[in-house]
C-alpha cells in the first residue's frame, strides 16, 4: 500500500482518487476550492462533476496544503492547467528533495509555452515529476470502464512506481521515457477536439470528423517530433488514442464546447455552458505560437484559433482548409523528393 495525495479534486482528481482507494492505497484529496472539499465531505460524492460515484470511506479530505504535501509516496497534480503554476508555487515549500509527483492535467502555459511538467519543475525543482496521459474520461474511470494510459518519466523507477500504484484489472498503465511527446499529444489533442466539435455542431459528416482526426494527429506529430517527441508516442495512447476519444466521446468537454460554438455560441458562452475546464481553449494560442516558433505548418490549429478568438466564420475556416495550396499527404516521402 502507498500513501497518495491529490492536489485538485475536480472530475479527474476525484475519479482517480476513488480508483486508487479501491486499489488499496491510503488516499488524501485536497482542493484550493474550500466549497469543493465541503461538498465531498458532506455527500462523499462530487455532486457537480461525478454524481453517483461514491468516495470510499478510506479517502481523507483536507483543505490544508501542508498536510496534503507531507509524508506521501506520491503526489498527484490534478488541477486545471491555468492553476498549475500557482498550486506548485504554494506547495513547493512543503516538497522535499526527490518527492515523486505525477501530473495528470493537460495543457501548455500561454506566457512561457512550457508544458505543465516544466511549469511544476520551475516552481519546485527539487521534485521528481512524471506525467500520465491517455484516452481516459473521468466519468468512465470512476465506474471501472476498461482504460489504458501511459506514464512518462525521466527515471524508469519513477514511471514504474506510478504504474504499480495506478494499475488494476480495469486500468492498464504503460511506461515511457518520452515525456514531451506525451505532454504535447495530451495538450494539443484538445485543440483539435474543439475543431471536431465545431464541425459536428455545424452538421458536417463523418468524413469531415475523420479528416480532422487524421490530419490533426499529423499536425500534432509534426510539431511534436520537431520538439523532441517520438513518432511512436503520437501513434500511441497519448496521441491518436486520446485524440480519438476526445473527438468522439459524449463525455468530452472540448468536443462539447466546440459543438456549441458550431451551433452559434461564442467561445466564452460555450465555456460557461460546459462549466468545467475546456483546456483546448487555453492551449490553442500556445499551440499556434509553438508552430510559429518551430516553423511547422498547423493549418487546423491556425483556423480554430481564428474561429475561437477572431470571430472567423466557421464556413470560411473550413473553406480555407480545403482550398489551401495542393500538396502531398506526407511531403518529402515520395518519389525521392
Ligand atoms: N475530466 C477528465 O475526464 C480528464 C481530465 N484531464 C485533465 O485533468 C485536468 C483537470 O480536469 P478536470 O478535473 O476535468 O477539471 P474540473 O474543471 O473538473 O476541475 C478542475 C479542478 O481544478 C482545481 N482548481 C480550480 N480552481 C483552482 C484554483 N484557483 N487554484 C487551484 N486549483 C483550482 C479544483 O480542484 C477544480 O475542481 C485538466 O487538465 C484536464 O484536461 C485529463 C484526463 C481526463
Ligand atoms: O483529456 C481528456 C480525456 O482523455 C478529457 O478531455 P475532454 O473532456 O475534452 O475529452
DSSP string, 85-146: HHHHHHHGGGPPTT-EEEE----B-TTT--BHHHHHHHH-TTSEEEEEESS--HHHHTTT--
- Determine what percent of the chain falls in helix, strand and coil, rounding each to the nearest 5: 55, 15, 35
189 marked as part of a ligand binding site:
yes
| Domain assignment present for 335 | no
- Identify the domain boundary among 126, 149, 177: 177
Tell me the average pLDDT across 251-280. 97
- Secondary structure of residue 220 in the 3-state scheme: helix
Q: Please indicate whether residue 36, judged by its CB atom, sits closer than 6 Å to ligand 1.
A: yes
> In which domain, by residue range, is 210 found?
180-322
| Domain assignment present for 332 | no
235, 310: one domain: yes
CATH number for the domain spanning 195: value is: 1.10.1040.10
Position 285 scores a pLDDT of: 98
ipTM passes above 0.90: yes
From CA 196, how far away is CA 193, in angstroms rounded? 5
Tell me the average pLDDT across 309-325. 97
276, 140: one domain: no
Domain count, the chain: 2
From CA 143, how far away is CA 146, in angstroms rounded? 9
205, 126: one domain: no
302, 275: one domain: yes
| Domain assignment present for 328 | no
From CA 99, how far away is CA 101, in angstroms rounded? 6
| Domain assignment present for 239 | yes
Q: One of 189, 272, 293, 306 is an active-site residue; which one?
A: 189
CATH number for the domain spanning 108: value is: 3.40.50.720
Q: How many helices, marked H, and strands, marked E, lie in the chain?
A: 16, 8
Q: Please indicate whether residue 138, judged by its CB atom, sits closer than 6 Å to ligand 1.
A: yes
66, 55: one domain: yes
- Identify the domain boundary among 145, 177, 209: 177
264, 155: one domain: no
Cell triple for 219: 499536425
Question: In this model, does residue 9 exceed pLDDT 80?
Answer: yes
Cell triple for 282: 487555453
Position 337 scores a pLDDT of: 66
Position 332 scores a pLDDT of: 86
197, 159: one domain: no
264, 302: one domain: yes
Q: Please indicate whether residue 13, judged by its CB atom, sits closer than 6 Å to ligand 1.
A: yes
Question: In this model, does residue 207 exceed pLDDT 90?
Answer: yes
User: What pLDDT digit, counting tens, does each position of 227-261 carry?
Assistant: 999 999 999 999 999 999 999 999 999 999 999 99
8, 104: one domain: yes
Position 333 scores a pLDDT of: 87
Question: In this model, does residue 274 exceed pLDDT 70?
Answer: yes
Tell me the average pLDDT across 15-37. 98
The secondary structure element, H or E, covering residue 304 is helix 299-309
User: Using CA of residue 110, residue 16, residue 132, residue 97, what is the dihedral sign?
Assistant: positive
165, 222: one domain: no
% of the chain with per-residue pLDDT over 70: 100
| Domain assignment present for 329 | no
76, 140: one domain: yes
Q: Please indicate whether residue 137, judged by its CB atom, sits closer than 6 Å to ligand 2.
A: yes
| Domain assignment present for 334 | no
Tell me the average pLDDT across 198-215. 97
User: What pLDDT digit, counting tens, does each position of 52-88 carry?
Assistant: 999 999 999 999 999 999 999 999 999 999 999 999 9
Instruction: Count the Cβ atoms, other than its own, within 10 Å of residue 288.
Output: 18
Q: Which ligand is nearest to the CA of 139?
A: 1
Question: In this model, does residue 336 exceed pLDDT 80?
Answer: no
Q: What one-character DSSP code corresponds to residue 239?
A: I
141, 27: one domain: yes
| Domain assignment present for 87 | yes
5 marked as part of a ligand binding site:
no
Tell me the average pLDDT across 181-185. 98
Q: Which residue's entry shows cell 476525484?
A: 14
Cα 270 to ligand 2 centre (Å): 16
Closest approach atom of ligand 1 to CA 7 = 35
- Identify the domain boundary among 152, 177, 202: 177
Tell me the average pLDDT across 254-278. 97
Question: In this model, does residue 22 exceed pLDDT 70?
Answer: yes
**Which one, of 333, 330, 312, lies nearest residue 321 by Cα?**
312
User: What pLDDT digit, counting tens, does each position of 93-145 carry?
Assistant: 999 999 999 999 999 999 999 999 999 999 999 999 999 999 999 999 999 99
**Phi/psi at 79 (nearest 5 deg)?**
-90, 155
CA distances from 267 to 97, 259, 263, 312, 324 (A): 42, 11, 11, 12, 25
Tell me the average pLDDT across 146-164. 98
Question: In this model, does residue 90 exceed pLDDT 90?
Answer: yes
User: Using CA of residue 191, residue 195, residue 197, residue 201, what is the dihedral sign?
Assistant: positive
- Beta-strand ranges (E) seen in 146-215 are 147-152, 171-176
Cα 264 to ligand 1 centre (Å): 26
Active site includes 326? no
Q: Which residues neighbour 163 within 8 Å (Cβ) at sequence distance 6 or greater?
A: 151, 173, 174, 175
**Mean pLDDT over each residue of the chain, to the nearest integer:** 97
| Domain assignment present for 327 | no
153 marked as part of a ligand binding site:
no
From CA 17, how far away is CA 75, in angstroms rounded? 11
Amino acid at each position: 500500500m502507498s500513501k497518495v495525495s491529490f492536489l485538485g479534486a475536480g472530475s479527474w482528481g476525484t475519479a482517480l482518487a476513488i480508483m486508487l482507494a479501491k486499489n488499496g492505497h491510503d488516499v488524501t484529496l485536497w482542493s484550493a476550492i474550500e466549497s469543493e472539499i465541503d461538498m465531498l465531505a458532506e455527500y462523499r460524492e462530487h455532486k457537480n462533476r461525478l454524481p453517483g460515484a461514491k468516495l470510499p470511506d478510506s479517502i481523507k479530505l483536507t483543505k490544508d496544503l501542508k498536510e496534503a504535501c507531507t509524508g506521501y509516496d506520491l503526489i498527484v497534480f490534478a488541477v486545471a492547467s491555468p492553476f498549475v503554476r500557482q498550486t506548485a508555487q504554494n506547495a513547493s515549500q512543503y516538497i522535499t528533495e526527490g518527492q515523486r509527483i505525477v501530473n495528470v492535467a493537460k495543457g501548455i502555459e500561454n506566457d512561457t509555452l512550457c508544458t505543465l511538467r516544466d511549469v511544476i519543475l520551475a516552481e519546485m525543482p527539487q521534485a521528481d515529476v512524471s506525467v500520465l496521459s491517455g484516452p481516459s474520461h473521468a466519468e468512465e474511470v470512476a465506474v471501472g470502464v476498461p482504460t489504458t494510459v501511459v506514464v512518462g518519466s525521466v527515471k524508469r523507477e519513477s514511471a514504474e512506481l506510478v504504474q504499480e500504484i495506478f494499475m488494476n484489472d480495469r486500468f492498464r498503465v504503460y511506461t515511457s521515457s518520452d515525456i514531451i511527446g506525451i505532454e504535447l499529444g495530451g495538450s494539443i489533442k484538445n485543440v483539435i477536439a474543439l475543431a471536431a466539435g465545431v464541425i459536428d455542431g455545424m452538421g458536417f459528416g463523418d468524413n469531415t470528423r475523420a479528416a480532422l482526426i487524421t490530419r490533426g494527429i499529423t499536425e500534432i506529430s509534426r510539431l511534436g517530433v520537431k520538439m523532441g517527441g517520438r513518432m511512436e508516442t503520437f501513434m500511441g495512447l497519448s496521441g491518436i488514442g486520446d485524440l480519438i476519444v476526445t473527438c468522439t466521446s459524449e463525455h468530452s468537454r472540448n468536443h462539447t464546447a466546440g459543438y456549441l460554438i458550431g451551433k452559434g455560441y461564442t467561445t466564452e458562452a460555450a465555456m460557461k455552458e460546459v462549466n468545467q475546464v475546456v483546456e483546448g481553449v487555453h492551449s490553442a494560442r500556445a499551440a499556434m505560437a509553438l508552430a510559429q516558433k518551430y516553423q511547422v505548418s498547423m493549418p487546423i490549429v491556425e483556423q480554430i484559433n481564428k474561429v475561437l478568438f477572431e470571430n472567423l466564420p466557421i464556413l470560411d475556416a473550413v473553406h480555407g482548409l480545403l482550398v489551401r495550396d495542393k500538396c502531398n499527404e506526407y511531403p518529402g516521402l515520395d518519389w525521392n523528393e
